[in-house]
Structure 1
Amino acid sequence: MPFNAYISTTILILTLLLFTPTQASAAGWFNPMTSSITLPASITVPGNAEVGSVLWTSTPVVSQLQDRAVARETDTIWATVSNGELASGFTDVYQTDISGLGVKWWGKWKARNFSGGTTLPITDPSTNNAGPTGWQNSDSYPQTVWLELIKTGPIQKGTLSVKTTTTTKFNCSLGDCKNWDVTVLSTSTILAGPTCTVSTPVIPVSLGHVATTTFKGVGTTSTPRPFTITLSCSGGEPNTAISSYVTLTDAAHPENTSTILSLSSGSTASGLGIHILKEDVVLGYGPDSTTAGNTNQWKAGTITQGMSVFQIPLSARYVQVAPNVSPGSANGLATFTLSYQ
């Protein structure tokens, strides 16, 4: 039976305010005062997407906030989600009427005290306040809201409709405030995408015997040696596709976010590191995480339904990292984490 699910007439309203607890005349106005988010016609869920995975992120909507009366530096911008029931196991993801699919709202708030923007999840009641704005009369800053669809469990097969209404508000209890409402009114079909597993979980790569005279100075390299990460894929509904993303992690130094893999502790050579390349581009390292947008995460390619094997061609080489190179064994260990989005 085909896997088709629908998000129907999901209405989520966000209302934003500038609130002064001690002065009734203070007020914040937004332009526009209403915005809407449009869901895509369909969303493909990777067959092996983990619970907590972001399945889709909306295009942000923006409203300009300015004061219309007397503002104070202690005024705060805050947001809440109304009529939302938390998904089991989550503190900031709300249920939809599709089992296994939740909604997470985000806000990026800007003001004099945080002009670069402070990004926080929006909850009900929201405890994620950016703090005093430092607001001055005539200040004007853009505020941004978007949502993510999150996998919260096994996604139920069949055709579903969302019957409940989730509301997000920025209530203004004092002053002549004009709130900002953000709604979602469209529908989306949830499709099951292909499932992939790693065929080559351990990949030995020999860089060969390299003479120390190969290295003429910091940054010089040896000849790259190719290797491949291979995935086995199956399932998925017709015409579906998923994107495969990869993060490389330095096993010896997981905090490493550079483009140089450290030599492992058993190595006897010195003055060298290791590059891993994709199509002649040196790749960076990041935390072992499947989170979309993880540090130095890169796209390996698109996997379409019916594709049984997906290969990721890479190469590795030594790179000189110190003025002097001493001979010996030079080994490194990197792990790779796949994220299907």
Structure 2
Amino acid sequence: MPKKLNCFPVLFIDYVRNENEPITTLLSRIVARVRLQKLAASAPVSMRTRNGIKKSFVWKVCFALIMAMVAPQAFSACRFAFTSQLLMVSPGTVVIPSDLPVGSELPITTQWNGRGQFTCDYPYPPTGLYTYGNSLTIPLTKAPGFSDVWATGYPGIGVRMYSYITGQPITANPTTTPTLGGPMGGGSPGLYFMYSIISAASNAVRLIKTGDIPSGTFPSTLFATDFAQSAQAPAFGYLWQNSNTRLSTWTLGSFTIASSTPTCSLSTASATFDMGTLPATSFTGGAGVAYPVWAQDQSLISGGCNASTVSMTFAGIAAAAPYSNAFANQGTAKGVALELWQKNGLQAIPNSSTPINFAPQGTGGKYTFSARYLQTAPTVTAGTVNATVTVTVNYK
């Protein structure tokens, strides 16, 4: 005969239990049917396995227990360990190349000091999966021209943060995680949680050039705050739920910024071409025809250069049109002008604002030029030939 319950009042529930079904699951199913039952002054409760064999033991399902199951659930006790994430920039003085393109990462690394965490009391064996959610707020605005970089307040420097969920830059503010799952830890009851939408990878926070960066001191800057939202565990439900609990802050530590100023120099102040002595009658091509023989190449010698680009412009007296791409002869010969060329490259045009670019040369390197005559009249008359060209070197 089924065993009678000793508590009062009770419910009459004749329910079939599946083999190996946890008690908590069974109770949940019982609660689902409680509204269909009528209270009785005294009633037995019996349980049968699916194969119909009656158990000799019966759980005492009291009305008070059922009421506890349907009442609002009390959360577990949780203890928070707030962490202030301080990202230290290495090296302490950052030298930023002047030619670093906008959008590039600054040449730094960051080191941080752990993550916020909390522990919740949990009376069941810690097995299965727990779920949790959290959010991140960013007290910054987007850097102009960028969808995934946040302005730090220091001119030309923005911060890009990467999500540990997607591995992609964080673009929303606030950013909220979906409900995530993870394995429960083994051992004694209790749960250990760690929250951070920002990835734990060493390169998860990167500084980006967003414009011109002046030299100076980057001030300590708060750029994100983590808020824990909820945590759930199997067979218990919510361990904790509160969207306003600050778990960690993220701050960039102060560091020094030094703009790299390139320098270039020349060890030679001038270069002279020996155009040789030629008979006037050797110019037979007619006006606009260059003499077929080049003078020996000459070079300006570098005294050292750490720039990424070098360019030159050339000033002097231009020959009369239509030969104004050549330098006018300042000597006594008539009907000739002088052309100056970058060796195996472009022609140096008198007074042009368009520079000729050269590969930067280290100490002793050469910026080499070629020169030749240009006939500017049908007949060339004998005399001296000379022209002076002033070269302006630009680098960055």
Q: Considering the TM-score relative to the shorter chain, is it more than 0.5? A: no
Band of TM-score, shorter chain? 0.3 to 0.5
Larger % of strand: which? 1
State which structure, 1 or 2, has the greater radius of gyration over its C-alpha atoms.
2
Q: Of Structure 1 and Structure 2, which has the larger fraction of its residues in helix?
A: 2
Q: Normalising to structure 2: TM-score of the pair? A: 0.35
